[in-house]
């Protein structure tokens, strides 16, 4: 008897990451001057990054600008706890990164 196996397929690998960037008072995290030829993924150190909206506009001086509105909390993957996102105006802001995939 044969069974169907599903094998995950990687479409690319992270070429590099940009960051850190921090949430402003509206919980917007902005990455500017991004090459539009890359796929992008929002990432965190030891956290599961979740966002509620994303806007893509022309970059300030080149490329594109991505603005992620992140959730006010995230899940810490080392503990499973829900943690509040610390904004850029706070003493220890939560860092976000953008993985660029070619």
Task: Indicate the burial class of 13 (C-beta count within 10 angstroms; 0-12, 13-18, 19 or more).
Answer: exposed
Q: Which of 30, 35, 47 is nearest to 84 (CA)?
A: 47
pLDDT recorded at residue 57: 96
Number of domains in the chain: 1
What are the 10-residue block averages of pLDDT along the chain, 102 residues in total? Answer: 46 76 98 93 92 95 96 94 96 95 84
Is the residue at 8 inside a domain? no
Is the residue at 5 inside a domain? no
Q: Which residues contact 90 (CB under 8 A, 6 or more apart)?
A: none
Is the residue at 4 inside a domain? no
Is the residue at 87 inside a domain? yes
pLDDT recorded at residue 13: 59
- Give the domain range for residue 94: 14-101
pLDDT recorded at residue 101: 87
Is the residue at 3 inside a domain? no
Instruction: Write the DSSP symbol of residue 43.
Output: E
Is the residue at 40 inside a domain? yes
Residues 47-60: tens digit of each pLDDT: 998 999 999 999 99
pLDDT recorded at residue 9: 44
């Amino acid at each position: 008897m044969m069974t169907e196996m599903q094998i995950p397929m990687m479409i690319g690998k992270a070429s590099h990451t940009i960051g850190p960037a921090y949430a402003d008072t509206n919980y917007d995290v902005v990455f500017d001057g991004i090459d539009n030829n890359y796929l992008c993924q929002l990432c965190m150190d030891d956290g599961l990054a979740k966002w509620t909206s994303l806007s893509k506009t022309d970059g300030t001086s080149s490329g594109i600008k991505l603005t992620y509105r992140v959730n006010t909390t995230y899940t810490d993957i080392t503990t499973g706890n829900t943690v509040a996102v610390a904004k850029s105006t706070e003493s220890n802001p939560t860092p976000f990164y953008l993985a660029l995939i070619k």
